[in-house]
Structure 1
Amino acid sequence: MKQYVIIGGDAAGMSAAMQIIRRDSDEPQVTTLERGGIYSYAQCGLPYVIEGSVAQTDDLIARSKETFRKKYGIDARTYHEVKSIDPQKQYVHGIDLELDQPFTIPYDKLLIATGADPVIPSLPGNGLQGVHTLKTIPDLERLQADLHQHRQVTIVGGGYVGLELAEAFASQHIPVRIVERNGQLAKMFDGDMASLLHEEANAQGIEIVFNKTVTELRADTEGRVNALYADNEAFPTNLVVFATGIKPNTSFLRETDIELNEKGAVHVDGQMKTNLANVYAAGDCALQYHRIKEQHDFLPLGTHANKQGRIAGTNMSGTEKSFQGVVGTSIFRFLRLTAARTGISEKEAERLEVPAESVYYKGTDIAGYFTDKKPLHIKLVYRTDNHLLLGAQIIGESGVDKRIDVLATALFHRMSMDEFEDLDLSYAPPYNGVWDPVQQAARRVN
């Protein structure tokens, strides 16, 4: 009987655990260690509880700890924080936070699926009442409780989470401000495309402060935040949410010889193996191979975590399967707009010194003669030497998701711009023009 230990009880960890249970026929002993109190919940759904599309936090939980224990025989533990591992003797050491007692568990195979923690800049006042992050269900519950009385919100950071939160607050008619240290929102997009998001924010009454770095938070007489200072300019606020990115939760590995990148993410091969014997890693604490960049990258998304966890569990249980990499596809809603991207942007191509150009096309989501058609803004990035597609960005009110998935599939299979005209895409006037806007954009290269 093999002893499997998995550190982390969310997407990657529990995807791996289920594969082990299903594939290892020798009655495996699977122990999962979760430092929090909740297993298998949808982190990406947290802003939509505030927005109202999700009725309650319980709806975000896929399987409870009790389900994993009783139905699948997994020794699923909560409030067990791992402090170190001994890869030579193959032990995991940590603290049972409820009992305040140390524990040690032996393993034959170990998976590190510890995810990532939100980054809070080290600055005066970051621990005041009214200062929040959003990564877990308890984070959300604290934020919701605070919203009942304090409704002048400042979000620090204009990335995915910051924009999703801004939409959620705005939908509830809560005044919201975004402070972004760069000159645009959604820096994963090129500036010309991100300008569409700026226009939408302004149209919906969201205040945006660009090119400002938060330096200090100040409190009122009761110890609650009442002002945010950015480069010495004061902004009144009584609730602050930091959405300034995440960092891999791997500090407990620093005393080992495990290979980490500069951000602390674990290097893994195609089978999710680390450089330590019998130690695997998956999810937001691990790197992913980027098929377009042809190098490892840190792209912490739920889709990658589930896939990597599934592949890790498959390999741990003795069946070989390889992770085929990512092309960098993502999508989010911002007020009336949907914004999506895949591959690399024009500025990324320049940074990677790839010979590239782009083409821009403004089309419509359905047949152009329909009265309710919506504009689609499409940008395609391609190699100048062989017209190979490198990336795409699409922003519009409707039809974005359909097109970005076509482009992501094309990227995965290394299609050239010249081949797009041959694609047999679905057509009927309520759904498309006779030439899809993606094909229309690609034809402008020829």
Structure 2
Amino acid sequence: MRYVIIGGDAAGMSAAMQIVRQDQEAKVTTLEMGVIYSYAQCGLPYLVGGIVDSSDSLIARDVETFRNKYGIDARVNHEVKHVDTEHKRVSGDDFEVEYDKLLIATGASPIMPPWDGSDLKGIHTIKTIQDTEALLADLTEDVRHVVVIGGGYIGLEMVENLVEISKQVTLVQRGSQLATIFDEDLAEKIHDEAKSHGVELRLNESVKGFKGENYVSHVVTDKGNIKADVVIVATGVKPNTSFLQDTGIHLHPNGAIKVNHFMETNIEDIYAAGDCATQYHRVKKRDDYIPLGTHANKQGRIAGLVMVGKPKPFQGVVGTSILKFFNLTLARTGLSSREIEKQGYPYQTVTIDSRDIAGYYPTPEQMTIRLCYHTETEQLLGGQIIGKAGVDKRIDVLATALFHEMRIGELEDLDLAYAPPYNGVWDPIQQTARRR
């Protein structure tokens, strides 16, 4: 059986490893457009901040390991430009490979809006190790002013790590709040945290272009010019699927490949997984697009199992994410108020300020918790938590509750761990549920 995988990162190589483990006779070919396999994209901002000391630390397995230890024909600098679904082959500028089963795991690429001057040197996007190394080469000691455009995951993480290396940072966001996955009033805590670390926030400001002689010197917005020695554009990503336009493979309106619970596309023997594919959202009850490494690894593993005839369904996502931003941890799962309103569900929210541990134990930290629930059924719809400590374990409890479609009142009945150094006798999420 000839298995071909397009893409050599999380989803692609998770699938490849399942195939070689389950099918000893498998012939697996992986086609990666770059030169680096299986690396931790989520660690790239911390490479900039010096918390991760080397890009080599972010590589889980190098290409030689896949070739020599696992017998995978792992190719580099192989960009697939066409898929022939009738004759079952893929091709690029100077190669062609036939397949029996094909997995598309091409990921996503940063969006660079068509702004004037975007080709100037010193303007960067962050998605690969090469991207990050190019940015680091520009972040010399002479560089003082860095402008980050976009207040999502990558933008916030880059801001923190740039401050860590003593850069003066301006963050430009065209909307009224950073981190739009949170409710607007909770986002004020994020704004305050940014300002307390010397970050200049430019909200409700739209970028129009860039100025400079060969190298960027200013970001041009609808409100004026912002001095910039280096610029980082973090305005989102788009699925790498443009090469599939003439294949008949069904795509989501945003370009992601539509897949079912078994990672199958509408074309027989073609599968997709990771940031180029859709994910089923268990709360919304429909396909969504939430490109995260956790989803990519799970979807890739399932795709590999399905391809070798050991089907296991992907159970979907509930929209869980977590982010460190200076001294705060920002976490959410399920739906925000804004998303619930789009879904049209009747809902209520309950919000409290609580402590991560027993109040009498030394150094308790405050956290703000918001739960959203269905007014008629009391089914939990989402949770948001912002605080300095203990946020991560609470969000995982809420994610588990959402996965199992629990009602908000059932949170009170959970048997959660308690000892004064770790919790109060009533966990903060149980305290919140009791206030409904």
The bucket for the TM-score relative to the shorter chain is over 0.9
Q: In 1, are the aligned partners of 2:334 and 2:383 still within 8 Å (CA)?
A: yes
2:189 to 177, 192, 196: 196
Q: Distance in 2 between matches of 1:151 and 1:304?
A: 37
SS of alignment partner, residue 9 of structure 1: coil
Q: Distance in 2 between matches of 1:115 and 1:382?
A: 33
1:275-323 Cα shifts (integer Å, max 9, x gaps): 0110000000000000000000000000000000000000001111100
Residue 106, structure 1, aligned to residue 105, structure 2: no
Aligned to 1:281: 272
SS of alignment partner, residue 192 of structure 2: helix
Residue 115, structure 1, aligned to residue 97, structure 2: no
Aligned to 2:234: 243
Q: In 2, are the aligned partners of 1:421 and 1:439 still within 8 Å (CA)?
A: yes
Aligned to 1:23: 22
Q: Distance in 1 between matches of 2:105 and 2:144?
A: 36
Look up the equivalent residue of 1:391 and give its one-letter code: G
Q: Distance in 1 between matches of 2:51 and 2:143?
A: 22
Look up the equivalent residue of 1:358 and give its one-letter code: T
Q: Distance in 2 between matches of 1:110 and 1:57?
A: 30
How far apart are residue 216 of structure 1 and its match? 1.2
Q: In 1, are the aligned partners of 2:256 and 2:276 still within 8 Å (CA)?
A: yes
Using structure 2 for the length normalisation, give the TM-score: 0.99
Aligned to 2:137: 145
SS of alignment partner, residue 82 of structure 1: coil
How far apart are residue 232 of structure 1 and its match? 4.5
How far apart are residue 209 of structure 1 and its match? 0.4
Q: In 2, are the aligned partners of 1:215 and 1:230 still within 8 Å (CA)?
A: yes
SS of alignment partner, residue 314 of structure 1: helix
Q: Distance in 2 between matches of 1:232 and 1:390?
A: 38
Residue 49, structure 1, aligned to residue 47, structure 2: yes
Q: Distance in 2 between matches of 1:227 and 1:174?
A: 16
Aligned to 1:86: 84
SS of alignment partner, residue 328 of structure 1: coil
Aligned to 2:173: 180
SS of alignment partner, residue 210 of structure 2: strand
Residue 331, structure 1, aligned to residue 333, structure 2: no
Question: What percent of counterpart residues are identical?
Answer: 56
Q: In 1, are the aligned partners of 2:18 and 2:305 still within 8 Å (CA)?
A: yes
1:125-163 Cα shifts (integer Å, max 9, x gaps): 101010000000000100001001423100000000000
1:246-273 Cα shifts (integer Å, max 9, x gaps): 0000000001100001110000001100
Q: Distance in 1 between matches of 2:251 and 2:70?
A: 33
Q: In 2, are the aligned partners of 1:215 and 1:232 still within 8 Å (CA)?
A: no
Look up the equivalent residue of 1:191 and give its one-letter code: E
1:160-191 Cα shifts (integer Å, max 9, x gaps): 00000000001111100110011000001110
Q: Distance in 1 between matches of 2:152 and 2:23?
A: 41
1:174-216 Cα shifts (integer Å, max 9, x gaps): 1001100110000011101111100101111101101111001
How far apart are residue 57 of structure 1 and its match? 0.4
1:322 to 313, 324, 332: 313
Aligned to 1:99: none
1:365-401 Cα shifts (integer Å, max 9, x gaps): 1111234111010000000001110000000000000
Residue 388, structure 1, aligned to residue 379, structure 2: yes
Q: In 2, are the aligned partners of 1:359 and 1:381 still within 8 Å (CA)?
A: yes
Aligned to 2:332: 341
Q: Distance in 2 between matches of 1:429 and 1:119?
A: 47
Aligned to 1:233: 224
Equivalenced residues, count: 435
Using structure 1 for the length normalisation, give the TM-score: 0.97
Q: Distance in 1 between matches of 2:167 and 2:268?
A: 52
Look up the equivalent residue of 1:284 and give its one-letter code: D
How far apart are residue 417 of structure 1 and its match? 1.0
Q: Distance in 1 between matches of 2:97 and 2:375?
A: 55
Residue 219, structure 1, aligned to residue 212, structure 2: yes
Q: Distance in 2 between matches of 1:45 and 1:236?
A: 28
How far apart are residue 234 of structure 1 and its match? 0.8
Q: Distance in 2 between matches of 1:201 and 1:428?
A: 33
Aligned to 1:66: 64
Q: Distance in 2 between matches of 1:379 and 1:264?
A: 33
Q: In 1, are the aligned partners of 2:143 and 2:167 still within 8 Å (CA)?
A: no
Q: Distance in 2 between matches of 1:421 and 1:69?
A: 51
Look up the equivalent residue of 1:8 and give its one-letter code: G
Aligned to 1:3: 2
Q: Distance in 1 between matches of 2:409 and 2:297?
A: 34
SS of alignment partner, residue 81 of structure 1: coil
SS of alignment partner, residue 332 of structure 2: strand
The answer for unaligned runs of 5 or more in structure 1 is 96-101
2:32 to 31, 34, 55: 34
Q: Distance in 1 between matches of 2:342 and 2:312?
A: 33
Q: Distance in 1 between matches of 2:124 and 2:411?
A: 46
Q: Distance in 1 between matches of 2:409 and 2:276?
A: 38
